[in-house]
Amino acid sequence: MKPALLALVAAFNIAVAVPAAAEAGAPLTVELSAQASTAAANDLATAVLYVERSGADAAVLADEVNRAIAGALETVRAEKTVKAQTGSVSTWPVYDKDDRGRITSWRMRSEIRLESMDLAAMSALVGRLQAALALAHVGMEPAPATRRKALDAATVDALQAFEARAGLIAGTLGRKHRIVHLSVGDSGFSPPPMPRMRMATMAAADAAPAPLEGGESQVSVHVSGRIELTD
């Protein structure tokens, strides 16, 4: 193999399979890959809020927490553009520090998850809910339809890049080519980092709208495969 060809192989990170029976006319194959990324608008806001309480009576504690969650869900229902669903619920005992076998109280936590493409409504609602609930998480991501559209665009770009690289390799070797294997996959999306929110219940007077800024996430598609070089 000539030095120039060796440099080309290294630069493209490809693998050339030379069959043992090459002299007998067996085909020469090349493995290669390509990747493409595109930006997807973060048009879906998500938030997780929770209630966490302690009490000596587990039944009374559960009633208190459930009432707080029910009140929050009632507030959410007034916002037609915001969807809500209940999240995880957990209860655990608190033991006496001096006597590990004795339960002194109970602690309970219950969550709700919100999502909306109406950022103004979501921001105001999260602010109001923090008067009674604590905020565990707020973030932005592409809505499913937005992500699919970006994924389709990245897939086209990745396939075109694969075909262009295959043509370059074959042309450099003075050959034509045909694709004998192809694999296409995506690596999800990479959202921009979000600042950690204060995880504490706010007083009603402090319940200002939660800041939300859409931005963009990167959606990536990778294509790998094998081509056969022909005359």
Would you place residue 190 in the very low, low, confident or very high pLDDT band (cuts 50, 70, 90)? low
Percent of the chain at pLDDT exceeding 70? 78
Q: Is residue 171 within 8 Å of residue 5, measured between CB atoms?
A: no
The stretch 53-74 carries a mean pLDDT of 95
List, in order, residues 6 or more apart from 190 with CB less than 8 Å away: 217, 218, 220
Would you place residue 231 in the very low, low, confident or very high pLDDT band (cuts 50, 70, 90)? confident
Summarised one tens digit per residue, pLDDT across range 96-122 is 877 667 889 999 999 999 999 999 999
Query: Collapsing DSSP states into helix, strand and coil, what is residue 210?
Result: coil
Q: Which residue has the higher pLDDT, 46 or 5?
A: 46
Summarised one tens digit per residue, pLDDT across range 78-96 is 999 999 999 999 999 998 8
Nearest-CA neighbor of 42 among 173, 157, 212, 196? 212
CB-facing half-sphere around the CA of 83: CA atoms within 13 A: 7
Domain ranges for the chain: 3-40+146-189+220-230, 44-141
pTM over 0.85: no
* CATH code, 44-141: 3.30.70.360
Round to whole Å and give the CA distance between 50 and 134: 5
The stretch 173-190 carries a mean pLDDT of 89
